Structure 1
């Protein structure tokens, strides 16, 4: 019989089949090395931090470049603006442009009484200085409506903007004169237009009569002669006749040529042209009289 509390060797085997006293053959896995994991994690954090620092340095460098370039642009713009706006002497070209622009706007900048003064000096017989008196100023009109047809076509072709007219009488109230100012775009256009104007002294500006005055009988048929003179962008026309209404056809040709009337008419037109184109005083500097 077997011993109490004992058993056969087979009976003493453990449930896994290993003999008593022998180590089981189950493979044991080594535990993860926590220190290695910590080192790897720290290394990854350091790498990420270093990459972030590099990106930050690149961003800061790029931002610095942008700021520097912007500052240079602003500085150059400020220097250029200062150089452009600071007071300096006018060049010859700028002086000429100033004069042209000043003369070209006078017909608008001046009052009508500035374009057509109340009295205009002229020379009578023996070069005696006399004064013509303004009777009235006509409303502004289209160029083609204030001149004869042959002249209207030329003015229209070269861009005439408007026509200003006024009527004067001489110092004795014997002669009547109408002066017309045709306003062109610029002096170049005016020169081109005057190159084509006819020399026929029977056509030019149409007279303006004012009822109730000594000019009321002054019409196209009463014109003895007509003429014009160029001044800046303006063509100044003039015509004259007798206050008593005599027509050109009623006057002998020799009297038309040698009458005191015609020199007076031309003198009045020339005086108004001189007022309009008289060169203005040009400031020496871009901002006045101090450079």
Structure 2
């Protein structure tokens, strides 16, 4: 799940009240006291009105975010697969050095639960948010040299549990551990036919907080070669990286595809929450 629309812009200009000293000695003490009360009263009323506007805006944004979060949980069965996983993805500037990429979808897994979709420790780490449904698709690059499985895990969690999981992944570095990898989806008769656990080369995992969804992608070589030391996409994409996954651009493949599927999901959530004018 998308970011809430930017808050309305309010004019922050306020009425400037003249200080009491400007009244000088023209006011009797009683009149001065009355003027002070008047100034204070206007200030309180103005502050209350401003506070009401700000509170209303905040409440509206909160309701909108909650609606979007809730609506996103139903997208796995209400949105066409071609919307969630387009047949082709445009990776303009997504390759090493800003090179363009194009990916073609070659397989879509039947929607399922999460059994056997993740390494055991990753499955355990995700258990706190539950598994409502898992959608997966596999893409191949234009050169047919790399394959990437991307997944959308729709969880059963509320916003609080989702935020807690994101914090845990960030603080404990769970998205970078080599013993917590997502598993690929291989399909017979495709370039990913031999894409198994041993072929995983690079990966990325993102816990969204504006939707009950975990987005991930894992990439490998299309020729079925094994990779002894897979590398997180964030590390493989560094200019200084010299590992086989990095040199082959497999970190860029995983991150580029995951980013585009995530963007598409956010746009879909936004459209689903828009109300007709």
Aligned residues: 198
State yes or no: 1:255 paired with 2:255: no
Worse-matched range after superposition: 121-130 or 222-231: 121-130
Q: Which residue of 1 aligns with 2:180?
A: 203
Worse-matched range after superposition: 236-245 or 250-259: 250-259
Distance 1:267 1:283, change over 3 A: closer
Distance 1:202 1:167, change over 3 A: farther
Mark the structure with the bigger radius of gyration. Answer: 1
3-state SS, counterpart of residue 265 of structure 1: helix
Measured in 1, the distance between the counterparts of 2:213 and 2:182 equals: 14
Q: Give CA deviations for 1:134-156 in whole Å, capped at 9, x if unaligned.
A: 00111122223211100111222
Q: Which residue of 1 aligns with 2:69?
A: 100
Q: Which residue of 1 aligns with 2:137?
A: 166
Q: Which residue of 2 aligns with 1:270?
A: 259
Shift of 1:250: 8.3
Shift of 1:229: 1.2
Distance 1:251 1:179, change over 3 A: closer
**Correspondences of 1:1-291 after superposition (within 5 Å):** 91-122=60-91, 123-185=94-156, 186-197=158-169, 198=174, 199-201=176-178, 203-231=180-208, 232-249=211-228, 254-278=243-267, 280-281=270-271, 283=274, 288-289=276-277
Distance 1:119 1:201, change over 3 A: farther
Measured in 1, the distance between the counterparts of 2:246 and 2:62 equals: 44
Gaps of 5+ in 2: 1-56, 232-241
Q: Which residue of 1 aligns with 2:14?
A: none
3-state SS, counterpart of residue 280 of structure 1: helix
Gaps of 5+ in 1: 1-88
**TM-score for the superposition, normalised by structure 1:** 0.61
Q: Give CA deviations for 1:218-273 in whole Å, capped at 9, x if unaligned.
A: 10000012221123211111100001111112899722334312112111011111
Measured in 2, the distance between the counterparts of 1:189 and 1:109 equals: 24
Q: Which residue of 1 aligns with 2:34?
A: none
2:139, 2:147 within 8 Å by CA — same for their partners in 1?
A: yes
Measured in 1, the distance between the counterparts of 2:161 and 2:230 equals: 37
**TM-score for the superposition, normalised by structure 2:** 0.64
